[in-house]
Amino acid sequence: MERLIFHVDVNSAYLSWEAARRVREGGEDLRQIPAAIGGDPEKRTGVILAKSIPAKKYNVRTGEPVAMALRKCPQLILARPDFRLYEACSRAFMDVCLRYAPVVEKFSIDECFLDMSGTGRIYPDPVAVAHTIKDEIRDTLGFTVNIGISRNKLLAKMASDFEKPDKVHTLFPAEMQDKLWPLPVRELFTVGQATAQKLERAYVRSIGDLARMDLKRLQALVGVKLGEQLHAYANGIDPSPVLAQPEEAKGYSISTTLERDVTTQEEAYRVLLALSDSVAMRMRADGYKACCVAVTIRGNDFKNRAHQKKLSDPTDITSEIYGISKRLFAELWDGRTPLRLLGIALTSITRENYAQQSLFPDRDREKARKLDRAIDGIRSRYGSDTIGRGSILHGTESVGRKYKAQLASRDKEKKPEKPTKGQ
């Protein structure tokens, strides 16, 4: 049975979703004017996340600072991001896809793959059913998508990126020579800017040039693994399946771009504490432990530095991850370069509950584990903002007093003056 894969991609997703909401409420359609989704111009996280086609004519670019975009287009209308709206719109368009495809894989918040293999008797014309899906999303949800059709995920994704918006395109293997190979090499999926520059300096200008290139020469240029992947992609080869369920996590990571530079170790430790707390809680919720902790820093020179430590015993304990992160950070940072980004990654994860045996149980470790469970329970019941970990800097006892006081306060508000029997 021949494979048949659709790739559905929302056109300018964040802006389209905000525009659709405003149109429903009687407002102006942001897609028809110079407009963009972006953060606060005063903050470093204020970048353009999505833009309208009229904004593109002013050379407004996704990923550039909001302030720069406003200099290019002073009349640019800005809307703040609304991730609750985006999640709702994402679920809505994927629900439409699920009515047509046996298997749907969410690839990102605004794109998914549909495995339509074997549906020929129900939908004899793939292009016609793609138009049906596209039009239903537009007419019922108020925003548009592009749909690419091919025999594998790579070619379907490349096809959906052809002319936009609100289009259906095919890119079957027989069409590659006319539709894919003439494109600039930097347009091939997974070719980043640095790789594109290497290829172009070697006179590999088009995807066709890359497809015809000697594999060993390519690997010498970009590396063995990447060279093999790019050569396969340029020739339209991609055997990866459409997965109905996401693959198991291979690790957990978190990072933050800081609103102002961090210049002291104490400030950095506060950030690392918050990051450790967040990423460890996520990992515990999935039932994993990590055998490796890594810390990444980025200075205001925009250079990334990273350091990692492999652990003899896997851990999911926040205080342990935080302690390791502090030591890694101290080895990484020279204390002179101001920092604009900090990150933590937990990798080599496992569900196994093994540890080195000892004649003497580690009571402090068990106390820390119980503390984590208690804090996770409070947050799951009352919300993530109910309790913070700032007081861990002064020991776990003060944290215990803090959450006990909060619970006592809540119980005092909820309980009647005279408790009934059994309370």
pLDDT single digits (tens) 239-289: 999 988 665 667 898 888 777 889 999 999 999 998 999 899 888 888 899
Residues 337 and 399 in one domain: no
Whether 156 is in a domain gets the answer: no
Residues 222 and 302 in one domain: no
Residues 299 and 275 in one domain: yes
Number of domains in the chain: 4
Residues 225 and 186 in one domain: yes
Q: Which residues contact 141 (CB under 8 A, 6 or more apart)?
A: 20, 89, 92, 93, 96
d(CA 105, CA 237): 19
Final residue belonging to a domain, choices 209, 234, 259: 234
Looking at 69-73, 350-354, 360-364, 371-375, which range is the least confident one? 360-364
CATH number, position 188: 1.10.150.20
Residues 343 and 366 in one domain: no
d(CA 85, CA 24): 13
Residues 316 and 340 in one domain: yes
Q: Which domain holds residue 201?
A: 181-234
Final residue belonging to a domain, choices 234, 257, 273: 234
22 pLDDT above the threshold of 50 = yes
Q: Given 18, 25, 105, 111, which residue is catalytic? A: 111
Handedness of CA 68, 73, 74, 76 (dihedral sign): negative
Whether 144 is in a domain gets the answer: no
Residues 338 and 376 in one domain: no
Annotated catalytic residue 136: no
44 pLDDT above the threshold of 60 = no
Looking at 31-45, 166-180, 379-393, which range is the least confident one? 379-393
Residues 57 and 17 in one domain: yes
CATH number, position 266: 3.30.1490.100
Whether 185 is in a domain gets the answer: yes
Looking at 36-50, 113-127, 156-170, 407-421, which range is the least confident one? 407-421
326 pLDDT above the threshold of 50 = yes
What is the rounded average pLDDT of the residues 334-339? 90
Residues 266 and 344 in one domain: yes
Whether 229 is in a domain gets the answer: yes
What is the rounded average pLDDT of the residues 354-381? 67
Supply the pLDDT for residue 124.
93
CATH number, position 73: 3.40.1170.60
Whether 8 is in a domain gets the answer: no
Strands in 3-76 per DSSP E: 5-10, 35-38, 48-51
pTM across the whole model = 0.64
237 pLDDT above the threshold of 90 = yes
Of the pLDDT bands very low, low, confident and very high (cuts 50, 70, 90), residue 302 is: confident
Whether 273 is in a domain gets the answer: yes
Could you tell me if 344 and 275 are in contact, meaning their C-beta atoms sit under 8 angstroms apart?
Answer: yes
Residues 213 and 254 in one domain: no
Could you tell me the two tokens for 214? 């000697």
DSSP alpha helices (H): ranges in 65-112? Answer: 66-72, 83-98
